[in-house]
Structure formats: structure tokens, C-alpha cells
Structure 1
């Protein structure tokens, strides 16, 4: 029995050492998951093996009723419409914490071009992408594969290009030319929309529209552009593991392929992509605030 346990310990140690070595090799390559695809891999490395996936279990069909669509058209000039929107947001925050917004003021062309711009960045030559690869959290602009790559958990089949917008923003010249103009335009638009969402959330809490903004809740903004390269064995891994967001709110822009699921009443619910819509996730901090009844 001791021998068996010793062998198991040895196997576990060897597996852990091999796992760490492969994680380091991926990070050192600076080519990310896209680099693996470009190298022609037909089998994904075991560091991406998620184990038994439960995405098909406890799943509900597509349902807009679980992730409601809130129309912000004319709410600045029509008090009745604004009151209706506040009621919809209040209900969505209490029931699931997710809702989609349309007619939010950001042109659809800007959203489409932002998706294309992020795709263009990730599909550049590896040598160009590598120039931006870093795990230095002080950097305002960063390209990285898996922010939690060294956590010991299975890696996601995903690369990310991110940049700080507020309170200490990136410099325009630090954004690569291939997507610079749209990143700047989208950043300005999404920050303005963030202020608008915080006003609506404040009113949904029964507070003055400026309440959350005066708490500086809207001052931190970091944008992440995720990219999911084609995977030769998609049944073994995931682009994003199940998780919660700790921020006050997260605004999610989906492309038309979709793929986003949210957990609602212990069932995974697909969020059908709506062209021109943004998904709002109120996040852990604000959800605690709402359910605690702190006004």
C-alpha cells in the first residue's frame, strides 16, 4: 500500500511538473493559443484539458425572458419610457443579474468594427503580436494568453488583447495601428454608455441618478478583446470556464456566432446574440449591494 501511494505521489508530482513546464513553454513562446494553431497542432496539449464538461447538463433552451432586452431609445427625453426601463432593469438585477441593451447610443457600425479590429490584431503575424505580449499588470496595453495561466487550473482555449481606459488611460500611440482608430472610438463610446448604465442602476436602487458615479464606481474601465482560435478538439476544452465577475458591471459585446451562457436558476441559458446589443452583467459587488438593500 505504501508502495502504491508512493507511486501515485510520484506520478502526481511528474504530472504537475510536466504541466508547469508546458504552461511556461506556452507563455515563453509569446505566440499564445493562436500560435499553437499556426504550428498545425492536431491534438491540444493536456494543459487545456478541462475534464468532464457539464455544458450540456442542466441546460435550458435559448430564452430571452431570462436575459431580457432593454430598449434605451428616448429615455433621456421621455420620463414614462425611462420609468419603464428602470422597472425592467430592477427586475433583471433581482432575477439574474443580466440584461441586454439596445438603442444605447453606440452606432452598430462602431460595434462591428471593434469586433473586426480585435480580430485583425489577433490574426496578425506572430512576430507582430509578440511585441505586445506581457504579464506586467502595470502595462496599459497588453496581449496575453489566459490571465490565470499559472493558476494550476486547465487553461482556456483563448487569447486576449486588453487596454486600460480609465482612470489612467492608454496612450493612442501604444495601440497597434491595425486597430488603433476603432479602439479609441469604441473606448470613448463605451465609457459614456457606462455612465448612462450607472445612472439607471442608481435609479433602480431608488437613489439619485448620480449616486454610483459619485462613489467613483464608473472610474475604473479596462477593455478585454477575447479571441477564440479554431480548436482541433473542442470537446476537451473551453474558451471560458464558468466564473463570476467581481466588477460592478461588465459590458459584453458578442459577435454573431454567440456562445455566451449564463447560469439562471441552476440552468445554463444561452444568450442569443442580438446585432447591435450589449450584454450587461451587474457583477458580484453590485449584486451584493442590491440584495443587501443598502440605500
Structure 2
């Protein structure tokens, strides 16, 4: 039995390496007209359970209009909506966030254009150096996960030690990506002010703590998959950072775990999706919740495009440790998490495939 298991593992690794070395990604597989997916993409039954049977109810993640969010003082009803969504859903969709619809459309179009180039044009950016400024790859966690997922990614670090220069960004989408970085930071700063107020903190507290100081964009394509019931676009996971801002085209696929149900997230024209990361759950002492989400493999002939920006802390404390914010702790609400270090945070993320709340579980008191 042991020999058989080792043989199966060896075969899988051989397939993984061949797929990786091809630099063609799943877009290349899809374009080649394959009718069956390679076995490295087939997920175990427990990952696929209930995949095509999400909640039959009509519930949706909260939709919040930010039209008057810049008023001074901030409208209390918007603060309350943001707070409640972050506490009960961990996900919400915002409209009238200040980014022109033309910029949303141009960003999606530019990312689609990058991914639809011939392999030869994209392969020069192909890499597995996750902390490099620009990286094109398929499955960041390909060598760490149990099964590969049906998507390719263009990753660009905007701020932080791995920050890319404009010249490093592929020319076909360079202007749009550089412009998107400014737009999405402004929108995220607005949301983070409201989230801080929702905790009873000063509006500028998250900016003071550098919560949008380190940013990375991962721009995915989910090409047509001939066997979408056997794989996933992205496996169920929670995000590790502060908040995540998602721009997507009209092709549906994102699902959010709410209670015991998987809820389909319907794209709203002009909308951005925001979700809470594990780090923010910890520093808010559990007031805000990071929530599992996943993406279904795309059974549509048209590709699904999503542009995800992760916002992370850039300035760690001198002690190099973080935990629940002291301002939020009282005798009635003591800390429910211990402090953790930057090294612990990074090692937890890069040592394995995508998962859910693993750091939170490790540091829970």
C-alpha cells in the first residue's frame, strides 16, 4: 500500500511539473480543446460536495451605497451598514464608491487582453517567485495544494518590499493596472475609514496603522472548463490580510459561506466586492469576521475575469508582534487571540495551500 501511495504521489508530481514547465496555464489547456481535464485538477469528493447546489434562497451579500460616505461627519447609517456587514457576513458589495465605470471596464478589458495573448507573449513573465514585483503563473500554490484549480493569474505588487516599477508591468495592460492601483487604494481607504468608525476608533486609525500600505493585485482568468463538476476555480479559503477588494466581469462564479450555506454572489454593475481578512478579524478581536469563499470552475464559453487587490499591513510594530488592538479590549471583552509575529504570519501563509483561518486557529486563546 505504501509503495502504491508513493507511486501515485510521484505520478502527480510528474504531471504537476510538466504542466508548470509548459507555461501554458489552464488557458492553454482550454484553448487546445481538451474534453477532459488532467487528473492534477480533479478535486477529492469532500471538496466538491454540494458544489452545484448552493443556497436555494434569494439572500445576497449586503449591498452598500457609498454616495455620501465622504460627508463630514460620516453618515452613521453607512457606518452601521458597514459594521453589520463585516460582523455578520464578512463580505459586502459597494456601489458609488468613486471609481468611474469607464475605469472598471478598462481594467477588466486590459486584464482579459493580457491573458488572451499567445503563450509566447505571456511566458516571459511566467514565474513562481511569489515575492517578485510581477509574476504570471497558474495556481500560486500548485506545489503546495492537494489539487490544482482552473485559473491563471497575473500578480503585481503595488507597494511593499516587492513593489513593481511601471516598466515591469506587461505593456498590454500597464497603463490600466497603474491607474487601477490608485483607484482601488482610494476606494479601500474610504471603506477602511468606515470600518474603523464601526469599531469606535478614529476614522484615520487604520491609515495610521498602515493597513493599506502593502498591496498586491492578483488578476485571474477562469477559462472555459470542460468538466466543471470535477474541479474548482479556486478552493474554499479565507484571505490572510486586512481587507480584499474585488472587481469582476459579469460571469458569475464566486460563492460565500454564510452559516451552513454557500451563497452565489451576483455581480452588480459598477460594484466592488469587499471582504474581511484574517488579520482584521484578529486585530478587531473577533468583532469583524473573515469568511470562507470559493470560485466555481467556469462552464461558460466566455472567460470569467476577476481583479483582486489584497490590502496588508506594511509597518509592523517595533516588537514585530501584532494582536487585538488594545483600544478594543476591556475587562468585559478581553483578548481572544494572542499576539503573533510577522514571521509567523508569513510562514503560515507560504507553507501550505490555500486554507481557512489557520492562523486564527493557532493563536486563539
**Is TM more than 0.5 here?**
yes
Q: In the alignment, is the contact (CA less than 8 A) between 2:85 and 2:92 conserved in 1?
A: yes
Query: Alpha-carbon deviation of 1:70?
Result: 0.8
* Number of the residue aligned with 1:43: 36
Residue aligned with 2:284, SS: helix
Task: Normalising by structure 1, report the TM-score.
Answer: 0.92
- Of 274, 278, 286 in structure 2, the residue corresponding to residue 280 of structure 1 is 274
1:133-158 CA-to-partner distances (Å, cap 9, x unmatched) read 01112311110000110014110010
- Of 49, 55, 58 in structure 2, the residue corresponding to residue 59 of structure 1 is 55
CA distance in 2, matches of 1:162, 1:208: 33
Is 1:222 the counterpart of 2:222? The answer is no
Residue aligned with 1:235, SS: coil
Query: Alpha-carbon deviation of 1:280?
Result: 0.6
Greater RCO, 1 or 2 (C-alpha within 8 Å, sep 6+): 1
Residues 104 and 51 (structure 1 numbering): CA distance in 2 closer, same or farther, change over 3 Å?
A: same
What is the alpha-carbon root mean square deviation over aligned residues?
A: 1.6
* Number of the residue aligned with 2:252: 258
Query: Alpha-carbon deviation of 1:273?
Result: 0.5
1:239-276 CA-to-partner distances (Å, cap 9, x unmatched) read 01111111110011121112111000111011111011
Query: Alpha-carbon deviation of 1:42?
Result: 1.8
1:161-212 CA-to-partner distances (Å, cap 9, x unmatched) read 0101113532111112211111111111111112112111111110001111
Q: In the alignment, is the contact (CA less than 8 A) between 1:247 and 1:283 conserved in 2?
A: yes
1:86-107 CA-to-partner distances (Å, cap 9, x unmatched) read 0001111111111111100111
* Number of the residue aligned with 1:237: 231
CA distance in 1, matches of 2:44, 2:230: 7
- Of 157, 171, 176 in structure 2, the residue corresponding to residue 182 of structure 1 is 176
Query: Alpha-carbon deviation of 1:61?
Result: 3.3
- Of 74, 87, 93 in structure 2, the residue corresponding to residue 94 of structure 1 is 87
CA distance in 1, matches of 2:111, 2:79: 33
Residue aligned with 1:268, SS: strand
In structure 1, list runs of 5 or more residues that go unmatched.
1-7
Choose between structure 1 and 2: higher helix proportion.
1
* Number of the residue aligned with 1:213: 207
Query: Alpha-carbon deviation of 1:56?
Result: 3.4
CA distance in 1, matches of 2:248, 2:57: 18
Task: Normalising by structure 2, report the TM-score.
Answer: 0.75
Choose between structure 1 and 2: higher strand proportion.
2
In structure 2, list runs of 5 or more residues that go unmatched.
288-324, 329-365
Query: Alpha-carbon deviation of 1:75?
Result: 2.1
Q: In the alignment, is the contact (CA less than 8 A) between 2:134 and 2:156 conserved in 1?
A: yes
Query: Which protein has the larger Cα radius of gyration, Structure 1 or Structure 2?
Result: 1
Which stretch of the first structure deviates more once superposed, 49-58 or 239-248?
49-58
